[in-house]
Structure 1
């Protein structure tokens, strides 16, 4: 009985349809230009790009809010004072820079 089981498995391995199927599956999984490994790397890249897309959409919405605020006169003045160190004619501007080295 044991010999018949061995011959049964051996005959399956010698079957040309089985061999072609194994070859096909191996080829598709590893060697084809659209292999499973390639799909995996492409899916990772897609996920990364979708994360970037959501980040930039949030940044766009922040910038749109900032533009709306800058259209108001007070916000424009504040922005000009902070970013470009602009001042009125009768004012003095002092720029204070903090040292990043810790003091003991």
Structure 2
């Protein structure tokens, strides 16, 4: 018990303990902030991977459209509902089922 009391009277221990408490709880870069930064980093990395995949897909699609006139016509018909002058276009709209 005397060793424990002597430990708390030691100025180096008190300064070190105060420093640790300050760094863990009160500093701008405390543990809670570090945890939030890690979560934010993980979220941003997921977004980066998603956008890289989307960029790759769009680039591939652009290359296909640039290389083939048939692909370009198919894309225009499907995405923008374009048609030839002597054609009729019918849209089939599926209704969503209520849960």
What runs of 5+ residues in structure 1 fail to find an aligned partner? 1-5
What 5-or-longer segments of structure 2 have no aligned partner? none
1:91 aligns with 2:96: no
Measured after TM superposition, the shift of residue 98 of structure 1 is 2.4
Q: CA 1:62/1:32 → structure 2, altered by over 3 Å: closer, same or farther? A: same
Q: Which moved more, 1:28-37 or 1:81-90?
A: 81-90
Q: Under a length normalisation based on structure 1, what TM-score does the superposition of the two structures give?
A: 0.84
Aligned residues between the structures: 97
Spell out structure 1 runs of 4+ moving beyond 6 A.
none
- Equivalent residues in 2 for 1:59-70 (5 A)? 59-70=54-65
TM-score (norm 2): 0.88
Tell me whether 8-17 or 88-97 shows the greater mean CA deviation.
Answer: 88-97
Asked which structure has the greater CA Rg, the reply is 1
1:100 aligns with 2:92: no
Partner of 1:28: 23
2:41 aligned with 1:46: yes
